[in-house]
Amino acid sequence: MIKQYIPLLNWIGKYQRTDFKSDLSAGITVAVMLVPQAMAYAMLAGLPPIMGLYASTIPLFVYALFGTSRQLAVGPVAIVSIMTAAGVGAIAESGSDAYITYAIALALMVGIIQFAMGMARFGFLVNFLSHPVISGFTSAAALIIGFSQLKHLMGVDIQRTHLIHEILLNAWDNVSDVNLITLSIGLVSIVTLIAIKKWKPLFPGALVVVILSTLTVWFFDLHAHGVKIVGDVPAGLPLPSLPLFDWEMASTLLPTAIAISMVSFMESISVAKAIARKNKYGIEANQELIGLGLANIVASLFKGYPITGGFSRTAVNNQAGAKTNLASIITASMIIIVLLLLTPLFYYLPKAVLAAIIMTAVYTLIDFDEVKHLYKVKRSDLALLAITFFATLSLGIEEGIMLGVGASLLWFVITTTRPHSAVLGRLPGTKIYRNLKNHPEAETDDGILVLRVDAQFYFGNVNFLKEFINKEISHSQNTPKVVIIEASSINQLDSSADSSLQEIKEDLDNRGIDIFFANVKGPVMEVMHRSGFDNKLGADHFFIDLHSAILQAKTRVNTIS
């Protein structure tokens, strides 16, 4: 039982010495990548860079203990950082003590929500975040994140906002105040990062630009010429302590906490499953919620902010050879060493470089391929992506994703209340029945109308079935004597739908038309039996396959004729 909640116990006893070299290499590689990223993402969240490092230490140990992914690299990520900034920035001034307090409390709330969802087996709730909605949201968020760094790239003060048009207008208004040295450092860093990424993807490009830019600023005393630097970075780990928390704060932060909980889990579980498939093992969604929830709770105890599994670092972790969660433990250990011994080295680190790291990292979140794919495959899903994308850009982070979720749920309701339906005919020389629209060569029998509805039958579409049956009867050249409902696609039947079926039967009886059912599933048949509909219709009106129903219908038509 304990192994169910502590997955590390499932592999630690089988650990191979040969795996350690791979885990060590991957752990160090990710740590080298994480140090500058964690600081950059904390700055993106409106927090001191050191808080990104705090969030990359003990929480990683916790996830390694309770998470089911062996390669997932947990820590600060861009989307969660911008969502933190959007939520906390609405109630406190960026960088203030209150702002930091709220961000730490937000990590606790996200952790509690995710842990509770995992314990309650509510992992399925993330299914409400459809892939087009997530793609539209992340693409828009990537643009917002990238443009939000213009103030650091240009070396000017720009009013904080998460609306992209306001960011661009504010940047334009301040273009005359651009610090050219800062802009040069940022642009050179971006070009260098892109070049290193193309030349050697696993090479720690972020660390290279951090070292070179820090040395340049120190050697030429560029901070005296207006180049903004990180400055003093406190050494050591903070002592664990409960974050300040009250119910008024909780109610204010709750919408942001829920949004982050869902989006961060969606990001984490999607990359974890993709990597797990490649390495041929399974991911348990509810246990992932528990692992991430506990990691966020612990992050709040050590003055961190909300974290999750990241795309880029997880890919690097896997490519670098990580075999188990020990790689994450090694990464966390390396970050702790940095905090204890190396923080003075960050004093001259220019903020423009952290902005460059963020801008080059989030560019990969803009999902051009998904737009092309949906345009070819499912344009209704492309519309959901577009709605979420433009809503996020124009209305804001939380508003965009909530509108996207609302639009996807509305579309689901529309499609289930107006489901796909078909009139069926038999393919010549076979016992196979197909949609007449797609197979005009299919044959029909005089006096028999075969219909199929591809959806559950519930209160939302009861009128649709009535309208569909009446429409097809009226379109028939001769009024049919038997209507057959091919029910293999009807998975559920509620009380409203059952009552509607009885009304349909009575209406058809009054018109001298019989009704048969073929391929009725067990759960649907049970509802019909409990309501007495099967007895009212008669056992001889139900058939285990469509062809048998057709043969009996022909006999009925011939008898009537």
Q: What pTM value is reported for the model? A: 0.78
Cβ contact 115:293 at 8 Å: yes
- pLDDT band at 3, cuts 50/70/90? low
First-to-last alpha carbon distance for the chain, in angstroms, is 68
Q: Give the alpha-carbon dihedral of 464, 469, 475, 480, to 10 degrees.
A: 180
Look-up of token digits 């002592």: 239
The Cα diameter of the chain in Å comes to 102
H-only helix segments in 149-284: 150-154, 164-173, 180-199, 205-220, 247-279
Q: What is the pLDDT of residues 428-481, one digit of tens each?
A: 988 899 999 999 999 998 899 999 989 888 888 888 889 999 999 988 888 899
Check residue 5 and give its pLDDT: 67
Token pair belonging to 52: 């990104």
Q: Are 388 and 407 in contact (CB under 8 A)?
A: yes
Query: Which tens digits make up the pLDDT trace of 304-317?
Result: 999 999 877 888 88
The residue behind tokens 């909530």 is 402
Q: Provide the pLDDT for residue 12.
A: 73
Query: Cβ distance 55 to 307 under 8 Å?
Result: yes
> pLDDT for 162-199, tens place per residue?
778 888 888 888 888 899 999 999 999 999 999 998 88
Nearest to 151 by CA among 354, 418, 322, 423: 354
Query: How many helices and strands (H and E) does the chain possess?
Result: 25, 8
Torsion angle of alpha carbons 68, 71, 75, 78, nearest 10°? -110
Return the bridge partners of 422, or none: 452
Rounded Cα–Cα distance for residues 97 and 90 (Å): 15
pLDDT of residue 2: 62
Tokens of 153: 């790239």
**What domains are there in the chain, each with its CATH number?**
18-367 (no CATH), 421-560 (3.30.750.24)
- Per-residue pLDDT of 109-162, as tens digits, reads 999 999 999 999 887 777 677 788 888 888 888 888 888 888 889 988 887 777
Buried b (16+ CB within 10 A) or exposed e, 529-539: eebebbeebee
214-232 tens-digit pLDDT: 999 999 999 999 899 988 8
C-alpha distances in angstroms, 1 versus 63, 295, 360?
Answer: 19, 21, 44
